[in-house]
Structure 1
Amino acid sequence: MEVPGISAETLGFLKGLRENNNKEWFESHRKEYDGARAEVLNFSDAVRANLQGHDEIERAKVFRIHRDLRFSKDKTPYKPHFAVSFSRLGAERRGGYYLRIRPGESFIACGFWDPNKEDLFRIRKELEQEAEVFKRVIAEPRFRSAWGELQGDAVKTAPKGFDKEHPNIEWIRKKQFIFTRSFSDTEVQNTEFIHTVGELFLEIRPFFNLMSEILTTNLDGESVLD
């Protein structure tokens, strides 16, 4: 069954919410919100089905549109976007997929947003020891055409215990290892959008395969899984 792109009505609701981010407006447009959310859920189900064709997905999480205001200076109550994450199944499969629908700022992302300190240290030690395979994977022309440059926050000089003059310090400095791809509103509304997302998520697999191997072995290449 063909899955339509995200409709102009859904983007219109989100534009309206961005301009009228208050409870009164939201409640008066709840019917539009319910329709938009149902559309995004349908789209995310199709994304998950595509992923299941080449990966194993434990769950898809649709994030709440309500913002957590407890520790934020921004007191607007809603996020003017829909977001979904897709978690891979099992300790041997690392990395995650992400989709955000927001007028003028829609994107998909893959990788490692917030690795725990043990995983981050393991990745850095691997890159300290040998980064040629890592660099070859992310520089492969087809991969680069799909995802572009590796992104993510980094420390300013070098992590504690690492040489700031190390030849691989560009990668060792990273705190996140992510790739993103942005889409215009026209692209998001196109019926080919679901296929584009599916193809891009498939292209990330060489990176996920390498990082999963790193994170499930020690520096001697021995498995650390039970």
Structure 2
Amino acid sequence: MSLVVSKEVFSFFKKLEKNNNRDWFNEHKPEFKTIEGGVKLFYNAIFENLNKHDDIDKLKIFRIYRDVRFSKNKLPYKTHFGGSFHRTKPRLRGGYYLHLQPNNESFIATGFWEPAPADLLRIRKEFEMDDSEIREILANKKFNSVWGDSFIGDEVKSAPRGFAKDHKAIDLIKKKQYIFTKKYTDKEVLDANFLNEIDSAFKAIRPFFDYMSDVLTTDLNGVSMIE
């Protein structure tokens, strides 16, 4: 029997949304710790599944406590669970993420959230030199039936410094992030097949990850930069 996300996850966060204060949370902390324990088992099951077909060296489940030091929003607690799965560097690049939040706000995400400056420049240079392979990946029906046919994420308004505004790949070059997301309803998250659904979606991203890993471990002449 596969692991499932308990309906108590969403019901707890719905109550926390209405009572986002330390007194209420401390009173209900035992309930939260029980729910958190079940969610950690679910994330670890994803980790184990990923390592059957990928090489993941780290799972990070984010804490519920918000860092309010530099935020206008001073509510002390998050009303979602989030966890990331890191592929083993330097050979493999990219990462996976699962976000669990009520009111049909759950999603999975893959890609490159904050590429290091050197990596971002290398990606842009690759697209400037040849954008055919990445466009072939994005146009693949099996791939875009899961992840769509375009990146989401921040981008510069026109063109990064040193790149032509009228380059044929400027739509790719001006990106600052290379992310794909897939949203889920509460009903879908609570379904018994959700664990398998996540794994199937993550498997579908591999052509993109294989391509980007090759780009980010070689120079523009295709020479490996890792030992």
Q: Normalised by the shorter chain, which TM-score bucket?
A: over 0.9
Matched, 1:83 2:82: yes
Matched, 1:157 2:150: no
Q: 1:90: how far off?
A: 2.5
Matched, 1:99 2:98: yes
| Amino acid corresponding to residue 189 of structure 1 in structure 2 | L
1:141 is matched with: 141
Matched, 1:186 2:187: yes
| Amino acid corresponding to residue 155 of structure 2 in structure 1 | A
For 2:223 and 2:47, locate their aligned partners in 1 and report how far apart those are by CA, in whole Å: 32
For 1:126 and 1:3, locate their aligned partners in 2 and report how far apart those are by CA, in whole Å: 41
Q: 1:12: how far off?
A: 0.4
For 2:69 and 2:132, locate their aligned partners in 1 and report how far apart those are by CA, in whole Å: 44
Matched, 1:199 2:176: no
Which whole-Å deviations, capped at 9, do the CAs of 1:28-77 have from their partners, x for residues lacking one? 11122111111110100110111011001101001011001111111100
Question: Identity percentage over the alignment?
Answer: 47
Counting only pairs closer than 5 Å after superposition, residues 35-54 of structure 1 correspond to structure 2 as 35-54=34-53
1:18 is matched with: 17
1:167 is matched with: 168
For 1:54 and 1:150, locate their aligned partners in 2 and report how far apart those are by CA, in whole Å: 24
Please, which runs of 5 or more residues in structure 1 have no aligned partner? none
SS at 2:187 equivalent = helix
For 1:2 and 1:65, locate their aligned partners in 2 and report how far apart those are by CA, in whole Å: 25
1:108 is matched with: 108
2:215 is matched with: 214
Moved over 6 A (4+): none
CA contact (8 A) 2:2 2:195 kept: no
**Matched pairs, number:** 225
| Amino acid corresponding to residue 69 of structure 1 in structure 2 | V
> TM-score by structure 2 length?
0.97
> TM-score by structure 1 length?
0.98
For 1:217 and 1:122, locate their aligned partners in 2 and report how far apart those are by CA, in whole Å: 9
